[in-house]
Amino acid sequence: MKKSPAPRLRAVAALALLAPLLAACGDPLGGGGTGTGPRVVASFYPLEYVAERVAGEHVEVEQLTAPGVESHDLELNVEKTAAIAGADLTFYLRGYQPAVDEAVEQNASGSVVDAAEVVSLHAAEEEPGHEGESAEEHAAHEGEAGDPHFWLDPVLLGEAATAFTEQMAEVDPDHAADYRANLADLRADLEQLDADYREGLTGCELDTVVVSHDAFGYLEKYGLTFEAVAGLSPDVEPSPAHLAELEDLIRETGVTTVFSETLASPAMARTLASDLDLETGVLDPVEGLPADSGQEDYLSLMRANLRALQQANGCR
């Protein structure tokens, strides 16, 4: 099973060779498409959605996380690293995808918009699996960045969109008026979505929601409480003590449904649901588009989530 390291080495060598070219002519890989327009890179789907809505008529937005890929642990190949190196504007979220953080730090030569600098992220809640650690031990491995999943609050996504638009207007002043007009349209849609959530989640029989990974904290502003089987990242395994606590909570609150999600493995959530004889539902953290997304976009996925929550929690 020993695999040759050659492709990776070759990739690194190729990047080294490209470096002067990148500096000299900007677009040796042709990854940006249009040739003359600015090159924009967005690191995962909700940021790509914003970039497309604001700038898509004038630039080709390159996305680093392909549909169907779990975005937390994205790895970058040489093309994607080169895309960051050659981008006029990179839109990303520091603390969410470590490979992107590193590539931006080491390779980005154009403008950068870090959504984590624009939006005030919620403090990360205690992740399951860390019971019994001292505060010091916990602080040592807890990201200082906070809960990254801010795009689930449409208002916060609007704030990130505004910062992106201002930077876009600097990078490409000729089209600044278009970018600002597109931003106004986008913000109107996001405000409508926020209003629909507010109204749609009023008067629910239940306010507790059990989900597979701790991605939904930003929806708590609508009056719900989210309890996660796993941590902020879907690959953090829950401890037996945490699972027992969740079971108690489910019995006490009368929760009917355990939600898993489209891209991360639902095994743990399924086991819990079948142990307790509950329904399973799907709630999408909108970290990426599903591979077969068809016409789905940020707004339609968020609305599907709203309907699923209303149904599970008996909202009228």
Residue 262 and residue 280 in contact, taking contact as beta carbons nearer than 8 Å: no
Q: What is the DSSP letter of 257?
A: E
Minimum gap (Å) between residue 93 Cβ and Zn ion: 11
Between 100 and 171, whose beta carbon lies closer to Zn ion? 100
Q: What's at 231, amino acid-wise?
A: G
Between 187 and 213, whose beta carbon lies closer to Zn ion? 213
Minimum gap (Å) between residue 69 Cβ and Zn ion: 13
| Tally of CB atoms within 10 A around 251 | 10
Q: What's at 213, amino acid-wise?
A: H
Residue with tokens 């969109």: 161
Between 83 and 215, whose beta carbon lies closer to Zn ion? 215
Minimum gap (Å) between residue 88 Cβ and Zn ion: 28
Minimum gap (Å) between residue 149 Cβ and Zn ion: 5
What residue ranges bind Zn ion (CB under 5 A)?
215
Q: Which DSSP string corresponds to 162-209?
A: HHHHHHHHHH-GGGHHHHHHHHHHHHHHHHHHHHHHHHHTSSBS--EE
Minimum gap (Å) between residue 207 Cβ and Zn ion: 22
Nearest Cα to Cα of residue 213 among 243, 244, 236, 241:
236
Residues 6+ apart with CB under 8 A from 134: none
Between 152 and 183, whose beta carbon lies closer to Zn ion? 152
Chain-centre distance of CA 275, in angstroms? Answer: 30
Residue 89 and residue 61 in contact, taking contact as beta carbons nearer than 8 Å: no
Minimum gap (Å) between residue 313 Cβ and Zn ion: 21
Between 172 and 214, whose beta carbon lies closer to Zn ion? 214
Nearest residue to Zn ion, scored by beta-carbon proximity: 215
Pairing of the two strands 257-260 and 279-282: parallel
Between 60 and 70, whose beta carbon lies closer to Zn ion? 70
